[in-house]
Structure 1
Amino acid sequence: MKRGTTNMAIDYQLLATQIKQWALELGFQQLGITGTDISSEEPRLAAWLAQGFHGDMQYMAEHGMLRARPAELLPGTLRVLSVRMDYLPGQAGFATNLADPTKAYISRYALGRDYHKLVRKRLKQLAEKIKLAVPELGFRPFVDSAPVLERPLAQRAGLGWVGKHSLLLNHGSGSWFFLGELLVDIPLPVDEPHQGDCGSCVACITSCPTGAIVAPYVVDGRRCISYLTIELKTAIPEELRPLIGNRIYGCDDCQLVCPQNRDAPLSIESDFQRREQWQDQGLLQLFAWDETTFLRHTEGSAIRRIGFERWQRNIAVALGNAPYEANIVASLQAAKATSTALVLEHINWAVAQQQRKSWQAANLLPRATERLVRIIQKGLPRDA
């Protein structure tokens, strides 16, 4: 990228208006423009890293303050074009999947095609349109592909505000959208930062299954179910396994309870709609997949990134959390012969959980019957 591209013959105000229109035509719901100075985020980022809240995501610590310095990430950058694209599918199936502990819950963003390539492609198309007006444009698109603090940048670009769950929120659109950035070297006029906030609402904090939101705007990644089921490559801490429930890939709970999402729009992108293989899938059915089947069904999906081993690990935990079924125990036991050490650890835990539930069920009925007999006897006449 050049060290700043300034052409006095260009009406940058008009160009900014055109860019926003082009973004809408490419399928983005909104585009905002901001500068590169987000140095005020550095103390917050440093404190978060110092507390180890990034867990095993070492790349976050390795990049350090670079995440708050986009101009250093790509020298010559003058502006950041921040975009958002709705992804909530038409058949999200929230209630069905979470209410039935024998069904698999997959975060709604992962039900369709992997968004990274789609959003990045649209950003490149946007850049090509800008190059028609500024042939010497230097640019680079990012979609979770660089150490950039995308949410603070999006807030400064006017797209919304960072909620207490650390996600970006937008009045009328909630939080069901992807973010992307296009770094450019032209002096476009910047938009006003969004001034919204969550007020006194703490729904996301009180509803987090694992208590991962340790303070407003602060998430301990090590406790977050999305981290545990997607980012964590080793064993899931045993004390957190029962709290995961049937969530086998990600978690949407903090978004589900957010009042801003009550009227969130559905995505019109066909690539983001729920794929057939994720329609009301039972845990046992998914656990029966071999690696070839897993790879076939996750082609072009974000789910493939965790690999088959972590896929089995996650489902084993969910099966341990499911109500007792003899079929569950049989499937878990059968999988031991071909499982890796990591998966085997979670299978053994799940079997123990199922056996405990079986024992409780076997002893619950006799105890209930005894209590009922005592109650009846107390109510009978002495000579009965």
Structure 2
Amino acid sequence: MKHLFTIHSHITFLAAMGTIVYENIATEEVILITGSGYKPKLSAAFKGKVVKAHDSLEASYSLLDKIKNWNYTQSVHRYINQLIGTDDFRAYVDTMTVFNRYLVMHPKCQQFHIIEEGIVNYADYDDFRLWTADLRQFQWQWKGFGDSKQMLNACIRLLRGRSLRLLAMPIHPNLYTLHKGVNAYCFSDFAFQYTPKSQKQILNWNALTTYVNLEPSDYKDGSWFWIGDALCKSYGISMAHYESAMAQWVEKINPNKEARVIYVKFRGSESKEEKDLTLQYLSQYHFTIVMIPAHEIMELVFLQYKHLTVCGIASSLLIYAHLIGHATYSIYQYIPDEYGVSLNKSYSNMSKKVGFIS
């Protein structure tokens, strides 16, 4: 029996490693399917395989390969069959992407489960519009030439063998754990809040390092961190509101402008203006800024050091820092409540239950 994990980020990698330890899975039977160019930091104890995701390979196909693999359904099945050979398998997926839908419906897939992906697993998804959030890209509507690209992509998806029924499956992973037999492997009971407790498997933070290659770092106990995220971009939060929130927040946490070192990690999706405003206010309040490398796995940093102070907007890293036992501060509370039901359900309710906003 093979065990196939789809991962694309630090937290999905750690969730996969935690699940392997939790279920005592022999790593020789594990295949990590890595997307978005992610490269997991594995120790020598891990004996499984690491392969690029199908869509990553497809992006580098020659013209001849693209013609041979025009039928997406057949191409995906060939890819999966090459991985598993004659074996059956269990799938552990992060989100229900189109590839993952094929993976869990493969004839050799005996069972599938969901592993923690991040903040999406903590949000209050009780609104139907949130369950169908990704379906807007498959709508057949013509309102003008601005919709031409969307219509063309929709036609290409169908011509490449993706059925409307498959495309209509929800992308959000939480929904699938409402079905009996589908477990949610997560780091706290706050995640997957509508999932039955019998199907919620809580992973041990301290077990994560079993198969992870820990690299030395220069942080110290008591360090301060700023963690960026995509909140402003995702919900269209104005820079005026963001600047006001930053101003109020720094005044609260460091009113006397005490000199401190703060380690900063941007997600990468922030605008230049957002990054500049963040650094500007940190500097004005006498924070010495040290940028964190993009490859740093912050969850492991939180595990290795004590009494940290982790700040940001609403990144899932604030949740993990809080769960591990560190102090957390967020500017979210200073952003006006005028950005719609989606933002409120995704963050306001969650922050109250998890308690990561100080």
TM-score band by shorter chain is: under 0.3
Higher RCO (CA-CA < 8 Å; seq separation 6+): 1
TM-score by length of 2: 0.25
Structure number having the greater strand percentage: 2
* Higher CA-based Rg: 1
TM-score by length of 1: 0.24
